Structure 1
């Protein structure tokens, strides 16, 4: 069985084909500097793949092979190594595509490369839509800040209620400036906010439609049994994590999210640091937001009861257990004098473990 290593840099390919086995890598074929490979080159890869059951190891950017005629069944056998877990030596100060291809081939042969999960085309499209919605949310926040800072510079202040409530919007609608240029400036800032708010509502409606359709409907229903998890949070979890079964334990899922504490220990000395933050910042944010719902007891909620209607009994029991445990966790940490950041991080970490258990319970 042969291994194929492919180093890719914006259309330039360095391919290395070598056999399995101990000892130094033997080069069978080296293809360097191929600009936009044609169908002939792809057919070579395809033939090699079928005959030798080789695996394509891709480091970094997308290769685009799936769009250049490579059979889909072959492409989906590819394994992409996790860039952050590729072993590196501090003494190695020379980096070239040829050296990278050789290193990847050797690491692949020895089994030291850990591959990432490649989502399907449909999941990737939905994930991009969710990320676009997240970008819009950030832009809306910035434009709201710009509007309020503009008014603050003109010594126009609002202190009746919180910002962006019905009363606040009425106040903004009634604002007028004597200076024509200032009025145009205010209209521009305010119109951006209103347009983006409408776009955000439209995207949220579309996300709910996607969540209620196949193949997401069943999994979204399971996740929504938990307090703090609604359509948006559930869809982010499904599209960013994709397959919960690839995590063998709840601890490995927490580690994937970057919610576990780091450690720097040696001998009898043990030192734990803050959370590693190695996973997706989006997932940590939405889980933290969901965890805030567990500040209060979750008994008697009509909304949660309606969500759990028709769901598997095991999932409902697990969600109820999570609600009681997480609130107790929050209260215990609060009584111990922990800061809100520490409390909510601990609760979100345990919440992620319950979500992992629910998805694997049904599977």
Structure 2
């Protein structure tokens, strides 16, 4: 048995997989085209010189292949596509070359792995993202309906849009033109259907968040203002293992740190990187806006949340709420643009969420 591993790169697609192996003892390269069947891929890998290390890029095919190979005792790494080094002069791209490139990077130790969630964790994350999709669909449906009414000179003059009063006002509208009436009814029906879908997903998230696997983290995150059950569950499912990060590194993971282009004695900071998890970044920025309002005493709802959390989490959450509002106040005093200030608040909010997630009971 050789102590130099055989590294295998897999270029995985929905219907086919191209595999390239670099033999550990000899350095011989072999390439084969396989189907997407995991049994066939595993059978070919087990025929290689051991030990075998496998890598493929994270993508739409998910993590089922990684779980299959890991369950069979193989060392399988799922690579972060954005972290893969590619030669700037390489202008030829094929499945075989991509697989060989992955095998070489793995052999050199230049692959940045992503976390492979368990099936239960991935299912919970899919639930959270389904709710995110419903939120976006509802926003688009409302926009289409409101603009249809606006083109007819109908504008809601009430205080709160999309309240029950607003919905009653929309339901009372009617048009004499049959084509316009049909378009209005279709747009209104779409808003109601998507809203009901979002509400059903909210109920499912509330039930899932009470599961012992998620409840401790969710309850601790809810000690912060603007972190509801839906937001806390979304953060918990997307981050997964909070102990991978520190209070300062988690901001970089979600792309909330400034980009930098420095050379010599010249240091230039640009806009935020916007790398990493976009879902977490949106949740944090949305929650950061709420900390602009003054925070003096915890509300009745906040006290109810605190009763379900450990004492250490309550104390840390209370301190975080005060700190984040003071930061907002200082930004406003300095005349900082709100769209810029909210990103800084979101970056610090990420640190407070990390502190609550890893706090000891």
Is the TM value for this pair above 0.5? yes
Cα distance, 1:221 vs structure 2: 0.8
Tell me how far apart the structure 2 counterparts of residues 195 and 33 of structure 1 sit (CA, whole Å). Answer: 45
Q: CA–CA distance in 2 between the matches of 1:38 and 1:155?
A: 59
Unaligned runs of 5+ in 2: none
Please tell me whether the aligned partners of residues 18 and 105 of structure 1 are also in contact (alpha carbons under 8 angstroms).
no
Q: Select the residue among 272, 275, 292 that pairs with 2:272.
A: 275
Deviation at 1:94, TM superposition (A): 2.5
Cα distance change of structure 1 residues 268 and 40 upon mapping to structure 2, 3 Å threshold: closer
Once residues 192 and 151 of structure 2 are traced to their aligned partners in structure 1, the CA distance between those partners, rounded to angstroms, is: 21
TM-score for the superposition, normalised by structure 1? 0.89
C-alpha displacement of 1:40: 5.5
Change (3 A) 1:340 1:64: closer
Partner of 1:192: 190
Change (3 A) 1:42 1:303: same
Q: Counterpart in 2 of 1:128? A: 126
In 1, the alpha carbon distance for the partners of 2:85 and 2:140 equals: 40
Please state how far the C-alpha of 1:273 moved relative to its aligned partner. Answer: 0.5
Q: 1:358 to 1:74 in 2, by over 3 A?
A: farther
For residues 143-202 of structure 1, give each alpha carbon's deviation from its aligned partner in whole angstroms, at most 9, with x where no partner exists: 111111111222222223332122212211222222333323222211111121112111
Q: Conserved in 2, the CA contact under 8 Å of 1:13 and 1:31?
A: yes
What are the ranges of 5 or more consecutive residues in structure 1 without an aligned counterpart? none
> Which residue does 2:21 correspond to in 1?
16
The TM-score with structure 2 as length reference comes to 0.90
Distance of aligned partners of 1:76 and 1:236 in 2 relative to their CA distance in 1, 3 Å threshold: farther
Q: Is the 8 A contact 1:161 1:168 kept in 2?
A: no
Structure-2 separation of matches of 1:42 and 1:200: 40
Conserved? CA contact 1:244–1:360, under 8 Å: yes
2:208·2:214 contact (CA, 8 Å) conserved in 1?
Answer: yes
**Distance change in 2, residues 1:41/1:344 (3 Å):** closer
Deviation (angstroms), 1:66 = 4.5
> What is the CA–CA distance in structure 2 between the aligned matches of 1:318 and 1:360, rounded to whole Å?
11
Give SS of 2:271's match. strand
C-alpha displacement of 1:280: 2.0
Q: Deviations over 1:103-129 (max 9, x none)?
A: 322322222211111111111112112
1:268–1:39 Cα change, 3 Å: closer
Among 298, 301, 318, the alignment partner of 1:300 is: 298
Matched, 1:85 2:86: no
Describe the superposition over 1:205-257 as per-residue Cα deviations: whole angstroms up to 9, x where unpaired.
1110110113111111111111111111111111111111112x222211010
Distance change in 2, residues 1:40/1:12 (3 Å): closer
Q: Which segment drifts farther, 69-78 or 54-63?
A: 69-78
The answer to whether residue 221 in structure 2 is matched with residue 223 in structure 1 is yes
Question: How far apart, in 2, do the equivalents of 1:100 and 1:157 lie?
Answer: 55
d(CA) in 2 for partners of 1:301 and 1:316?
13
